[in-house]
Chain A
Amino acid sequence: MTARRRHPLAGYAVVLFGLLLAGVGYAVVTEAGAASASAPAITQDAQIAQGQAIFREECATCHGQFAQGTPGVAPSLIGVGAAAVDFQVSTGRMPAKEPVAENGRKPVGLNTQQIHALAAYIESLGGGPAIPSTAQVSQVGANAGFGQQLFVADCAQCHNFQGAGGALTYGKYAPPLTQSTPTQIFEAMLTGPEAMPVFNNTTITPQEKRDIIAYIVQTRQEPNPGGFSLGRVGPVTEGLVAFLGLLLFMVLAALWITAKHRKTPHE
């Protein structure tokens, strides 16, 4: 009989193997790194000179010898300010590996002191927003409740209510805010990296920025009553996971119920 050539458990094995492969593959692909920045302390001229050396080595290929930019490849960095440099480099987005729709967070190659030197060099070329001070991003006295109102009005449409991120057009995306430091969030609002709009200090005041940061940071610390956070996207994900899990169970149950008998006991 043709039905006897395959082991009766072969069907289950194929389904489980396929799922396992997809799961492991996804876990391998999605890896994450983290980095943060703190204060430097050397003379300004030496710092700028060091920054220029780093710039020529790491950045000049795309952004040009004088940070003037290359049309169609990389923008001019004159006037972007220290905050933009600190954000891009401390999150690992720059130096970019390859031209892509959206540069994602990746492990950082430079240390904090080098990043600040690079930022000082770019700032010396044409000013721009400075790296926020520790006091500016301090969570002491910040109003997370008011921060939530502001976050819902102007941030949540792209970054999701819990800061879990979301998709944009043509391969771009709003990244999750789960690993961003308060300084990086402040800098992102101030400089509008990639497709993000600029929220400068007159449209959203520094105090309001602190409140928004307080909301983002506090949201991360919320307990997960269900155990897994599932990206904190909410009932949609939870429903989807339950749906897919139960669907698998139903498929296996249907396979079992309708499987051919191995032998007829009445023979």
Chain B
Amino acid sequence: MSDSTRGRVPGEPEEGPILRAQTEGSAEPEGAPRRVIGTPAPAQSRMLLAQTAAESTAGLPAERERELPADLADLDDAKRAERIVAGCFILAMLSGFAFIAAYVIFLPHSTTRVLHSNLALGLTMGLTFLFLGVGATIWVRRLMPHVEMTEQRHPMRSDEADRDAFVETFNEGADASQFVKRPILRRTLIAATVPAVVAPILLLRDLGPLPRTKLEHTVWRDGMRLLNYGANTPIRPGDFSSPGGMISVVPEGFQDNFNALAKAACIIIKFGPGEVVYTQQSQPADGFTVQNWTVDNIVCYSKICTHVGCPAALYEQTTHHILCPCHQSTFDAARGAKVIFGPATRALPQLPMTVDAEGYLVARSDFTEPVGPSFWERGNSS
């Protein structure tokens, strides 16, 4: 049998277990309107609730139709369910006390004790809620009646008399308070609230000073040596004895300045002869430029991804791809680090590079464009 039985209108001939459950046990008077569970109740079954004692004893039919069954059919089963639920609740209570005990016993004085304390507290609290939930669910499933109830909706709008009375009271109050009659009181009260509205705007100050042009520059300067990050030693081009090498570099003097490194970190990549495709900025080919800022086929790119600024340094020497681990933006290192996959929109900026008198790799200047992700004032974002 399908659930459509419950949708029937009252008065139609009814069959099925739900209806029988409703009619068999009750001694309804002949001709009383039948009710199907799940349909709107006949008017008088609701009205009985609202009737006064005097009315109900005035010879009207006082037999009230029960909305919910009085008791369970299988009392043995109910007894079993009752024991299970009570057991769950007792276990919940015990683990609740265990939580208190654990809080007192495990004082987090050391790392190990903190571990034990967290474990005991979490476990006991979890068990408390678990047993409470399991008990409640079993109670609902096995002891409470499984019937659908319907409640009537009434219009929300108050009737006209109430509305008129409200307006009258409001206007009387406004007059009596002198709020309307004395404008100077009204206006000074409003003026008193103005600072409270303005004050939160000042909180914007706490966001710190304006960035000005900070985002457009890094600490790289002409003649600044590139240091092998970690070892912090300067690098000669000849240190790359074979193509396929890559190393993270930082500006000399700023190797421990993380604020500076957040923008200035770079990677240098050693290519084989003829692997790098050079173009000029005046004649970009295929949307990329590699300036002749390289030394001995060593190219230096910003390590900061142009998408959202993650360190893009997963370099594959076979394909010359630089991969950013955050969102898989992929750059072609042999072609000016132009974007070949992923959400980044700009190539990684290239650092102008040369060698100093001692033969160490040095910067020729700062980056010629802002590094890292786009920002409002940057202008062209592609």
Binding site for B on A (CB under 8 A): 1-2, 146, 149-150, 152-154, 157-158, 166, 168-170, 172, 174, 192, 194-205, 208, 225, 253, 256-257, 261, 264-267
The answer, yes or no, to whether B222 is at the interface (CB within 8 Å) is no
CB distance from A95 to the nearest CB of B (A): 19
The 10 closest A-B pairs by CB, nearest first: A195-B316, A197-B246, A153-B230, A202-B239, A150-B230, A153-B229, A198-B244, A157-B313, A198-B245, A149-B230
Residues of B within 8 A of A194 (CB): 318
* With A169-B316, A198-B317, A202-B239 as contacts: A266 and B69 at CB distance below 8 Å: yes
Residues of B within 8 A of A170 (CB): 319
The answer, yes or no, to whether B141 is at the interface (CB within 8 Å) is yes
- Is B1 touching A1 in the complex (CB atoms < 8 A)? yes
Residues of A within 8 A of B240 (CB): 200, 202-203
Which chain B residue lies CB-closest to A75? B318
Most B CB atoms within 10 A — which of A195, A201, A257, A266?
A266
The answer, yes or no, to whether B321 is at the interface (CB within 8 Å) is yes
Q: From the candidates A166, A172, A267, name the one contacting B316 in the complex (CB within 8 A).
A: A172
From 224 to 253 in chain B, residues with beta carbon under 8 angstroms from any chain A beta carbon are 228-231, 235, 238-248
From 345 to 378 in chain B, residues with beta carbon under 8 angstroms from any chain A beta carbon are none
Binding site for A on B (CB under 8 A): 1-2, 17, 21, 69, 72-74, 77-78, 115, 133, 137, 141-142, 145-146, 228-231, 235, 238-248, 269-270, 311, 313-319, 321, 323, 325, 328, 330, 341
- Is A154 touching B318 in the complex (CB atoms < 8 A)? no
A169 to B319, CA, bound (A): 9
Q: A150-B230, A169-B321, A264-B21 are in contact. List 12 more A-B contacts (CB 8 A).
A: A146-B230, A157-B311, A192-B245, A195-B316, A200-B241, A202-B238, A203-B239, A208-B231, A261-B141, A266-B72, A266-B145, A267-B17
Q: From the candidates B1, B21, B73, B317, name the one contacting A197 in the complex (CB within 8 A).
A: B317
Between A and B, 7 residue pairs with Cβ closer than 8 Å are A149-B230, A154-B230, A154-B247, A199-B246, A202-B241, A203-B228, A265-B74
A197 to B238, CA, bound (A): 16
Which chain B residue lies CB-closest to A149? B230
Residues of A within 8 A of B17 (CB): 264, 267
CB distance from B179 to the nearest CB of A (A): 55
Residues of A within 8 A of B341 (CB): 169
Which chain B residue lies CB-closest to A2? B2
A204 to B245, CA, bound (A): 10
A133 to B118, CA, bound (A): 48
Which chain B residue lies CB-closest to A259? B141
A267 to B145, CA, bound (A): 10
CB distance from B164 to the nearest CB of A (A): 49
Residues of B within 8 A of A267 (CB): 17, 21, 73
* With A150-B230, A169-B316 as contacts: A197 and B245 at CB distance below 8 Å: yes
Residues of A within 8 A of B316 (CB): 168-169, 172, 195-197
A2 to B313, CA, bound (A): 59
- Is A195 touching B319 in the complex (CB atoms < 8 A)? yes
CB distance from A15 to the nearest CB of B (A): 18
A202 to B269, CA, bound (A): 14
A116 to B48, CA, bound (A): 100
- Is A265 touching B142 in the complex (CB atoms < 8 A)? yes
Residues of B within 8 A of A150 (CB): 230-231
CB distance from B358 to the nearest CB of A (A): 16
Residues of A within 8 A of B1 (CB): 1
A201 to B313, CA, bound (A): 20
A197 to B243, CA, bound (A): 9
A170 to B17, CA, bound (A): 63
Which chain B residue lies CB-closest to A166? B325
- Is A197 touching B146 in the complex (CB atoms < 8 A)? no
Residues of A within 8 A of B321 (CB): 168-169
- Is B330 touching A169 in the complex (CB atoms < 8 A)? yes
Which chain B residue lies CB-closest to A192? B244
Residues of A within 8 A of B328 (CB): 169
A202 to B317, CA, bound (A): 18
Which chain A residue lies CB-closest to B342? A169
A153 to B133, CA, bound (A): 50
- Is A265 touching B247 in the complex (CB atoms < 8 A)? no
Residues of A within 8 A of B239 (CB): 200, 202-203
